[in-house]
Homo-oligomer: A and B are copies of this chain.
Amino acid sequence: MQFTPLAELERRVQNLQAVMQRDSLDGALLTEKMDLFYFGGSMQQGFLFIPVDQNPLFMVKRNFKRAKEETNWEKVMPLNGLNQLSEYLHDYACKDIQRLGLELDILPVNLYQQLERIFPHVQFVDLSKSIREVRMIKSEFEIKCFREASKVAANVNRQIPGLIKVGKPEIILGTEIESLYRKEGHQGILRMRAFNTEMFFGHVYSGENGAASTFLDSCTGGEGVTPACPQGAGWKALAPHEPIGVDYGSMHGGYVLDYTRVFSIGALPPELERAYDAALQVQESVVLRAVPGAVCGDLYELALEIAAANGLGDFFEGYKDEQVKFIGHGVGLDVDEYPLLSQGSKHILEPGMVFALEPKFIFPGKGMIGLENVWLVTESGLEKISLIPDDLVTVPLSGA
């Protein structure tokens, strides 16, 4: 098992402490599982108390033994009930806590109200945006996770053309790809931070199903097999001359490498091939402009301009009124991290940011055409983390 080294945990916590200092907070009390894993190295259930000026205290509800093994922090205590929190924090901080940061973007009301009763004199402050900003800048340790996930994705992707057959249902293709990932150690669970969202490995869709958007903030989604889970692969059979989209997350050490490629059996209609060229053009132009200091909202506008210049403005990132207002998003332990490459986004590119850029065109009744790669912001511009060639892959009709 790969545990997070102490120096890495220290760096992360120090970055959050700098924010807490700025905001005059005495500490943060975190519980969201990926925040626990990021700052604590363990997602065992409990609370991580990070004082503004000391190492964290990990109070573990369950499983204590595993938490001790997983975290490299020294202070790990069992938490037998929420009421213990007050005493733990008071004793550990050696002072009265006045302002405490919480993850108000995900903390349920009932739990929050319990904390209000436990800490009657403490002012709670929403720290979720700052946490997401700290998590936005990746370290060498994290970038290595993406690189590992990228190797696996390349290996899996090479095998996809051999799996594509006329008449095979999307869900069978999806299952085969999922198996390839799992057998290389994919953890199975892919995470989104946004409330009430969820995702399986990602989406496989073909033809018109590529134009089926769903409840997620995404221009694609797929049909799914039931309205109880209306996304991902459905029962539609793969057919010639249709775009077959594979939008899956490869994972390593919790980090998700989100990518999309389009395959087809025989050639695609010229209209879609032209749109793919436009998607490549969008990618190229954005990549050239995506240097440290670039404003993400401007990159979004640039992409829109290129789509429009190609006469494809109505099809970009969704069709007309179903369009989503972004071209990319940060990736990390969640698939919906900062920075947002979206309309009006004020995020400014900095070295260490890692994001997925996904220029995609949606043609109702025909499907999705486009691609998605993951990029690392470096001092000199973007480095492509994805290892898969950008080409459309055509499987010969005779072989499928």
Contact = CB atoms under 8 A, between A and B. Distances in A.
A66 interface: yes
User: How many copies of this chain are found per oligomer?
Assistant: 2
B175 A171 contact: no
A168 to B, nearest CB: 11
B108 A229 contact: no
A227 B37 contact: yes
Main secondary structure of the interface of A (DSSP, over half): loop
A124 to B, nearest CB: 8
A2 to B, nearest CB: 7
Interface in A265-285: none
B232 A188 contact: yes
Contact of A108 (B44, B66, B107, B232): B107
A213 B217 CA distance: 35
A44 B221 CA distance: 12
Contacts of A31: 196
Given A108-B107, A175-B183, A179-B175, A226 B254 contact: yes
A41 B228 CA distance: 8
A337 to B, nearest CB: 14
Nearest to A217: B62
A45 B196 contact: yes
A189 B200 contact: yes
A214 interface: yes
A2 B227 contact: yes
A171 B178 contact: no
Q: How large is the interface on A (under 10, 10 to 19, 20 to 34, 35 or more residues)?
A: 35 or more
Given A171-B182, A225-B187, A111 B195 contact: yes
A94 interface: no
Contact of A189 (B107, B196, B229): B229
Most chain B CB neighbours (cut-off 10 Å) among A62, A108, A174, A221: A108
A182 B175 contact: yes
A199 B111 CA distance: 21
A311 interface: no
Given A44-B214, A187-B229, A229-B254, A112 B111 contact: no
Contacts of A175: 179, 182-183
Given A44-B215, A128-B110, A198-B33, A225 B66 contact: no
A108 B110 contact: no
A102 B108 CA distance: 12
Given A37-B228, A41-B227, A188-B201, 7 more contacts: A32-B196, A104-B110, A110-B128, A171-B183, A178-B188, A188-B232, A226-B252
